Structure 1
């Protein structure tokens, strides 16, 4: 099976332990920046940034649990593996673009874990939050399920700050 055909599970669905060698293989095999999507998805199937505890959560398939890794120890797990790509410029020398998986994950990665990348679901939630913010009566609820410290409270904080309080008369 080629690297392009490989299906990579979402965060928390991996059944094999994380392998830095597999991550390096995916990066080395990439022929272009877009080929790096396999390596990015592989990494994101094991690690997810965590703002509240400053670090990452690491999915450990052996214990079927999440482990918290603090900022200063992340580099021991996610090594700064780099790959350079060269593109020929019409005018002058070729341009070098360098990719660093650690830098991408810790700084440049802006993937939204909400809705698992499903735009229809994302759009529904945006409209739902807009309705709540406008003070409309909602006939549905958002059910958020995740571990402690994953930021679910951000939503209720937003609702408490943003939704006008209306006095009701009997």
Structure 2
């Protein structure tokens, strides 16, 4: 099974999920590879599964899907709910079947990405950053497919407090969300 290169975030995520299934890393043979190398090896049949901690569509997964029939590994009944209950920072993520040309859609576990700045960053700069991103999402999404998944109001549901500049940005747009 592909895990990412040493120091990546996949291992922590997997170490959270495996015990929920009474499993550990000792139950498999992990391959610590770069993302692109791992999906290349999945395409070549050198590994059986790849764990992708990424937005979608992910280029390496799309490349693997171009020459292979891929399928999502489904959660056993009740296991996604158990995981979300164990750590409410995670959420269920629906991946339509047309994203990777799979036979059926996938239900994955995910976490929101955050843009983090120093507390000393001026509120005006933070507001400008959020304006540049969130007020131009259509333009951003035209350049980056992952940007289509950005939902600005999800920023109000993070597990850390908002910077004062972010609070001002969202307060000014409260009627939109």
**Fold agreement, TM-score > 0.5:** no
Greater fraction strand? 1
Greater fraction helix? 2
Scaled by the length of structure 1, the TM-score of the pair is 0.30
- Greater radius of gyration (CA): 1
